[in-house]
Amino acid sequence: DAGVTQSPTHLIKTRGQQVTLRCSPKSGHDTVSWYQQALGQGPQFIFQYYEEEERQRGNFPDRFSGHQFPNYSSELNVNALLLGDSALYLCASSLSITGELFFGEGSRLTVL
């Protein structure tokens, strides 16, 4: 039973570029949440997707957007990258909007 998988694991971008991160939830899970973890900080909630809709959102600008597909997989898009967007981006899936979260290993983004 595959857990939560994320891709790519590492990537490097330059300021102003755009990035797309991908997440496949754990088998049977229908809800995906995205978190940003800067170095030395705890994960910060970006948004949550359920039934292909964004259900709630944290304090992140509109440059951060997402999508959930019919197979429950999800993408996180960040436009106009800033140096401060460098972080580990974690995807977590759950069964329903209140179930236990299972995290993927993350995508480590470096913005130069």
Beta 19-24 vs 10-13: how paired, if at all?
unpaired
Site string for another protein, 9-48 (x = CB under 8 A): ----------------------x-x-x----xxxxxx--x
Answer yes or no whether residue 90 interacts with another protein by CB under 8 A.
yes
H or E element, residue 32: strand 31-37
Q: Which of 18, 56, 77, 110 binds another protein (CB under 8 A)?
A: 56
How many chain residues touch another protein (CB under 8 A)? 25
Q: How far from 22 is each of 41, 50, 65, CA to CA, in Å? A: 22, 16, 12
In whole angstroms, what separates CA 88 from the centre of its chain?
9
Phi-psi region of 30 (alpha: psi -120 to 50; beta: other; left: phi over 0): alpha
Decide whether 14 or 110 has the Cβ nearer to another protein.
Answer: 110
Which chain residues interact with another protein by CB under 8 A? Answer: 31, 33, 35, 40-45, 48, 50, 55-56, 58, 90, 94, 97-101, 103-106
